Amino acid sequence: RAYSLVDSSQVSTFLISILLIVYGSFRSLNMDFENQDKEKDNSSTSGSFNGNGTNNSIQTIDSTQALFLPIGASVSLLVMFFFFDSVQVVFTICTAVLATIAFAFLLLPMCQYLTRPCSPQNKISFGCCGRFTAAELLSFSLSVMLVLIWVLTGHWLLMDALAMGLCVAMIAFVRLPSLKVSCLLLSGLLIYDVFWVFFSAYIFNSNVMVKVATQPADNPLDVLSRKLHLGPNVGRDVPRLSLPGKLVFPSSTGSHFSMLGIGDIVMPGLLLCFVLRYDNYKKQANSDSCGAPGPGNISGRMQKVSYFHCTLIGYFVGLLTATVASRIHRAAQPALLYLVPFTLLPLLTMAYLKGDLRRMWSEPFHSKSSSSRFLEV
């Protein structure tokens, strides 16, 4: 009997993951534009350049961090595997706090649009907590409300919303400075993903990655009710929580869920963010040099193809290949096994053909005196 290799839940996963990567990449680029504008204002008012004042919230991964990140992720995975019962409440609360902040960041542009006609953009002081605009307060309030509803109901759609916020925030606030760091990070995470999905069962008698990803945690309200002896009817009917470390979508028949970890969105998303920034950097450099032509052995049509488009198509093909492999083998697949080659190899090939490989490999981005806010995508 014939069956579909891709169902409605997986189509939803494709679309949402690609939209999150594109949106997060452009939010990251807009943050760079805003930082450049603030640096110009600071330099014009104070007469000196201060490049560190506006980038405190942005984390750039260096080579050492890229090498040790898979090791740290493996240690965290083992802690969750062996001591989940002991740390689940703390982990749930920490995840809820991070998801609240991330979802507020996701909602901020919409809240800025809604509050602009009726409220000035002046910041309101809250003492030692800081100063916030009306849009920031509105987005944070809506985020807190959504997290509270998720804790009370445990609905998968609310969990997906929080996971989306985490994806966009991580893509926007984390930077890969060069192609070298990108290759180190993604190659290490590919090995990490393959080992914990395919080979962990031979050592630990269980698929560590799948068990940790699918294991629900006790609801903090239930734990608090039992600790304070509030009675059998207070806080005891709340569901266990599936943590927002993944996106899940039910199939049309409701028989199963399609699942994709946020690491499979964020890590390739960081590469997409890097190439989008490089496309913009190269566009500015070419405009400053009066449109100097590229290498003579590359056709004009090839020069017009952006690295962002090439890598995004590779991500889609890799995700489609991972989904088909999962349906054929009827087992969980390490998505990075397919996503990393389908994104890195076309990017490296195109960079070599265009003559940009050496510059992308190790040269950091230069600060530009002027920035274009319009990109062709």
User: Tell me, what's the pLDDT at 42?
Assistant: 64
Asked if the structure places residue 350 within a domain, the reply is no
User: Tell me, what's the pLDDT at 252?
Assistant: 63
Q: What is this structure's pTM?
A: 0.86
Collect contacts of 49-58 with beta carbons under 8 A, ≥24 apart.
Answer: 51/367, 57/173, 58/31, 58/173, 58/174, 58/175
Asked if the structure places residue 273 within a domain, the reply is no
Question: Using CA atoms, how far apart are residues 271 and 182, in angstroms rounded to an integer?
Answer: 6
Asked if the structure places residue 170 within a domain, the reply is yes
User: Tell me, what's the pLDDT at 102?
Assistant: 93
Asked if the structure places residue 144 within a domain, the reply is yes
Q: Is 222 a catalytic residue?
A: no
Asked if the structure places residue 314 within a domain, the reply is no
User: Tell me, what's the pLDDT at 142?
Assistant: 95
User: Tell me, what's the pLDDT at 296?
Assistant: 47
User: Tell me, what's the pLDDT at 41?
Assistant: 67
- What are the residue ranges in the chain where pLDDT is below 70? 1-8, 41-56, 119-121, 229-236, 252-256, 288-303, 364, 366-377
Q: Is 7 a catalytic residue?
A: no
Q: Which residues pair with 259 in a beta bridge?
A: 248
User: Tell me, what's the pLDDT at 49?
Assistant: 39
pLDDT tens for 7-65 read: 667 778 888 999 999 999 999 988 888 877 777 766 665 544 344 444 557 889 999 99
User: Tell me, what's the pLDDT at 116?
Assistant: 80
User: Tell me, what's the pLDDT at 220?
Assistant: 85
Catalytic annotation, pick one of 32, 160, 264, 279: 264
Asked if the structure places residue 319 within a domain, the reply is no
User: Tell me, what's the pLDDT at 11?
Assistant: 78
Asked if the structure places residue 202 within a domain, the reply is yes
Asked if residues 250 and 8 have their Cβ atoms less than 8 Å apart, the reply is no
Asked if the structure places residue 75 within a domain, the reply is yes
For the chain, what is the domain count? 1
Catalytic annotation, pick one of 7, 32, 193, 356: 193
Tell me the residue range of the domain where 144 lies: 8-39+58-117+129-260
pLDDT tens for 78-101 read: 999 999 888 888 888 999 999 999
